[in-house]
Every structure is written in C-alpha cells, then in structure tokens.
Amino acid sequence: QVQLVESGGGLVQAGDSLRLSCAASGRTFSSYDMGWFRQDPGKEREFVVGISSSGDSTYYADSVKGRFTISRDNAKNMLYLQMGSLKPEDTAVYYCVARPAGLGYQPDEYDYWGQGTQVTVSL
C-alpha cells in the first residue's frame, strides 16, 4: 500500500518554472514505478511522464519533452517533477501515481493516486 501526497502547484506566468513534489508513504517506495498524469476540466487524464523504480528509465509525453524533468529520491520516498518553459496549455491538476511494477501510459495501469495539485499558467 502506498499513499501519495502532492505539493508545489500554483499560479505562474508563461515561461516560468515550477517544481512539484510527491511524498510517498510505505516501506516499499523504491520498488514502485512512478509517474505524473494531469487533467484539465472537461478533458481526459493525460500521461505526462514516468520513471522506473530505480530511476534509471524515464519516458515523457511529447508535449513536455525537453521542458519537464522527473526525478526520485528513494531514500526520502520522494518524487519530483521539474517543469520549465511553462505554457498555458500545461494548466491542469497534476497527479502523482504509482504501480508495483512496469511503466504504463494509461491511467488504469496505475494502482495508487495522489489527490492532485493545481497548476495554472497564465499568459
């Protein structure tokens, strides 16, 4: 069982940077593959980025590649998303997710979800 709590969202201007954090509970954090999804009202949840349990493998949605960076600190049970060159279309609620094994692109492939943190990017 893993519990996830996101933080770091807020209101920023286009071109700004923001770092999201996800604190995970549980002794087996280092065995979980993790990721971030986002959802704008009226739209489906969208995969943003994933990272393997060891942190050695990452993969990004094309829409954020080169602008966002995912990382994790298994010693601290923390997951991070560094977002740069933010655009208004990045506005969404961002969710931290986890699954016991294997990276996935679809929401239903992840067993654990945080409550989400709002990111709003203005022009």
DSSP β-bridge partners for residue 92:
119
Please, what is the Cα angle at 66 between 100 and 32, to 5 degrees?
Answer: 10
pLDDT digits (tens, 9 = 90+) for 63-122: 999 999 999 999 999 999 999 999 999 999 999 999 987 778 999 999 999 999 999 999
Instruction: Please tell me the predicted confidence (pLDDT) of residue 76.
Output: 95
Taking only the tens place, the pLDDT of each residue in 31-67 is 999 999 999 988 999 999 999 999 999 999 999 999 9
**Predicted pLDDT of residue 41:** 86
| R_g (Cα) of the chain, nearest Å | 13
- pLDDT at residue 27 tops 90: no
Say which residues have a Cβ less than 8 Å from residue 69's Cβ, sequence separation at least 6.
81, 82, 84
Q: Is the pLDDT of residue 4 over 80?
A: yes
Distances (CA, A) of 102 to 40, 74, 90: 26, 17, 26
